[in-house]
Amino acid sequence: MKMSGARILFECLKKEGVDLVFGYPGGTVINIYDELYNFKGIKHILPRHEQAGTHAADGYARATGKVGVMIATSGPGATNTVTGIATAYMDSIPMVIITGQVPTALIGNDAFQEVDIVGVTRPCTKHSFLVKDVKDLATILKKAFYIARTGRPGPVLVDIPKDVQIAQTEFHYPETIELRSYKPTVEGHPKQIERAVEMLLAAKKPVVYVGGGVVLGNAAEELTAFCRLLGVPVTTTLMGLGAFPENDPNSLRMLGMHGTYYANMAMTDTDVLLAVGARFDDRVTGKLSTFAPHAKIIHIDVDPTSIKKNVRVDLPIVGDVKGVLVRMIKVAKANADKVANLKEAMKPWLEEIAGWKAKHPLSYKHAATVIKPQYVIEKLRELSNPDAIVSTDVGQHQMWTAQFFGFTKPRTLLSSGGLGTMGYGLPAAMGAQAAFPERQVITICGDGGVQMNIQEMATLVQYRLPVKIVILNNGFLGMVRQWQELFFDKRYSQTCLDLPIDFIKLAEAYGAKGFQATKPEDVEAVIRKGFATEGPVIMEFKVAREEKVLPMVPGGASLNEMVLNA
């Protein structure tokens, strides 16, 4: 049976198991939306801005492990998705972005709302396609989903001209796809895996360093089992939080610029470092020449270009982290005597780490008259559901959440790590809530970042998405202000948000509820009320204006050169 390109698009999405898309209509996708009008089996959510819709698709993908889908029209609609695409690209999030394009005959003629979105997004996608013939559409969409979800995941853009959407052809969806130039390595080399376990079992001061690849690869269970089998200390990146339970005695929590004292000290002194699904980002390594100076480094990653890119690696293993860890567990179990010897040899190391934990735990000074933001985070953890999904915006609140929430499960923290995108938190939570209507979803934002996509309050109310929005309001662009205080003699250039916003009235204007706390004794009551209230809720906390995120490794410093008090 012949179908239009627009109909083929939705048939392909259905074949790929897509049940929800985000999108914003416009002239070059009007045929797609006309087809959607009668199409059954795919739910659509209309955001109030294409950037927010792309972040929502990202949040949906992070929370579910599925491919997120966003539809946008050509020109400004397409360019509005770029920040969301770049955010997903930096954090390896599987997404397919469908953009409309002017008719093929007009491409290159500066037609109304024409933009070369394939060229624009080439640096921040795994691949971008321009569909020139409706006969190629189904195969291209199959390729797009395959590329997005395999290997190191990432966003793929498919640009569909208006005439391709209208044209008709026979619909055939390929069962499998072969790409000669794209063949990710999935199986880790058996000998390399054996050598890696041997190196760990011979160590005296091992550390396992876990990145977002463990979460994306659905390997948290295997990672936890392997680390507990060996009894080794484990530290995670921001993107890896939840991959290893932070309430485990061997958890060092997060490392890096705002990581724990004991994680950074352990990384400085370790003799064997196992990196799993991490990319040695500059926020993690600090000064490269002094990073893990005594360690032999083992690096497991599905992306071969991530290995040896930033640091020297003694033993690379290219492969799917889940499969590699399963094999490592088998090798370790086959060497039970050596595992016992490792545990004995590590006792002084674990005692040293325990000393660091006791000397410099994550802490803050309580105040009787002002709300400390860390206290709000701790109360949120205490009062929230065990399986709550938390998204954050970017800034101080993001780091306080990473430090004090205590994540124990994968896919429960959604945060822009690589790109550091303000405005991410609220729409990402929207995507997660759409994926899991019955689960508790909380977004933690600052008063600066929340306003970058505050219009999505309307989307939350319209679709009855009960996201709980926590605003830590200090009247500053807090993270930049902190740097200005510490390194620029308190010259607060353009970081003071002088115009106070009544977030409670703002919530009510959108048809939602809002509650505010101005004193420490109000915090728990506001959280309880917010959680108990149906629908989306804004909970605003007027927090200490000049509170800093500590510890902190200054730019260009070594991990053991932390600012602990300031």
Rounded-to-10 torsion of CA 541, 84, 458, 411: -60
Helices and strands counted in the chain (H then E): 23, 20
CA 326/CA 347 separation, integer angstroms: 26
Tokens of 198: 């041997």
The C-alpha angle with vertex 25 and arms to 462 and 167, in degrees rounded to 5, equals 140
* Residue 1 pLDDT level (bands cut at 50, 70, 90): confident
DSSP 406-459: ---STT-EE---SS--TT-HHHHHHHHHHH-TTS-EEEEEETTGGGGSGGGHHH
Q: Are 432 and 389 in contact (CB under 8 A)?
A: yes
What percent of the chain lies above the pLDDT cut of 90? 98
CA 348/CA 345 separation, integer angstroms: 7
Residue 207 has pLDDT above 70, yes or no: yes
| Mean pLDDT, rounded, of the chain | 97
The angle, 0 to 180 degrees and rounded to 10, between the axes of the packed helices 336-345 and 347-359 is 40
The angle, 0 to 180 degrees and rounded to 10, between the axes of the packed helices 50-64 and 82-90 is 30
Rounded mean pLDDT, 301-324: 96
Q: Are 331 and 194 in contact (CB under 8 A)?
A: yes
Rounded mean pLDDT, 112-129: 97
| Digit-coded pLDDT (tens) for 502-540 | 999 999 999 999 999 999 999 999 999 999 999 999 999
Q: Given 66, 143, 162, 296, which residue is catalytic?
A: 162
pLDDT of amino acid 565: 83
* Residue 499 pLDDT level (bands cut at 50, 70, 90): confident
| Digit-coded pLDDT (tens) for 353-373 | 999 999 999 999 999 999 999
Q: Given 113, 192, 440, 455, which residue is catalytic?
A: 113
| Digit-coded pLDDT (tens) for 8-49 | 999 999 999 999 999 999 999 999 999 999 999 999 999 999
Q: Given 95, 479, 539, 552, which residue is catalytic?
A: 479
> Strands 272-276 and 206-210: what pairing?
parallel
* Residue 498 pLDDT level (bands cut at 50, 70, 90): confident
The angle, 0 to 180 degrees and rounded to 10, between the axes of the packed helices 190-201 and 321-333 is 60
b/e 194-219 (16+ beta carbons within 10 angstroms → b): ebbbebbbebebbbbbbbbbbbbbeb
- Amino acid found at 26: G
Identify each DSSP E strand in 92-154 by its residue range.
95-101, 127-130
pLDDT of amino acid 563: 94
DSSP 189: P
> Strands 513-517 and 537-542: what pairing?
parallel
Query: Edge-to-edge strands of the sheet including 251-254?
Result: 251-254, 234-236, 206-210, 272-276, 296-301, 315-318
Q: Are 16 and 67 in contact (CB under 8 A)?
A: yes
Q: Given 11, 16, 35, 50, which residue is catalytic?
A: 50
DSSP 48-109: SSHHHHHHHHHHHHHHHSS-EEEEE-STHHHHTTHHHHHHHHHTT--EEEEEEE--GGGTTT
> Strands 2-4 and 168-170: what pairing?
antiparallel
Name residues whose C-beta falls within 8 Å of residue 211's C-beta, 6 or more positions apart in sequence: 236, 237, 239, 240, 275, 276, 277, 278, 279
CA 424/CA 434 separation, integer angstroms: 16
Q: Given 2, 43, 112, 183, which residue is catalytic?
A: 112
| Digit-coded pLDDT (tens) for 252-264 | 999 999 999 999 9
CA-closest candidate to residue 306, choices 225, 239, 246? 239
pLDDT of amino acid 16: 97
Q: How long is the chain?
A: 566
CA-closest candidate to residue 59, choices 402, 414, 393? 414
Any alpha helices (H) in 297-424, and if so which ranges?
321-333, 336-345, 347-359, 373-383, 396-404
Cis amide bond preceding 500, omega within 30:
no
Tokens of 537: 């809720």
For the question of residue 521 being annotated catalytic, the response is: no
* Residue 566 pLDDT level (bands cut at 50, 70, 90): low
Residue 286 has pLDDT above 70, yes or no: yes
Name residues whose C-beta falls within 8 Å of residue 557's C-beta, 6 or more positions apart in sequence: 286, 287
| Digit-coded pLDDT (tens) for 377-406 | 999 999 999 999 999 999 999 999 999 999
Q: Which residues pair with 179 in a beta bridge?
A: none
247 dihedral zone (left: phi>0; alpha: psi -120 to 50; beta): alpha
Rounded mean pLDDT, 233-242: 98
> Strands 155-161 and 127-130: what pairing?
parallel
For the question of residue 113 being annotated catalytic, the response is: yes
Name residues whose C-beta falls within 8 Å of residue 160's C-beta, 6 or more positions apart in sequence: 5, 9, 32, 98, 99, 100, 101, 131, 137
Tokens of 359: 């000397």
Cα distances (angstroms) measured from residue 333 to each of 229, 326, 340:
8, 11, 11
Which residue is it, tokens 């709300």?
A: 371
Query: pTM of the full predicted structure?
Result: 0.97
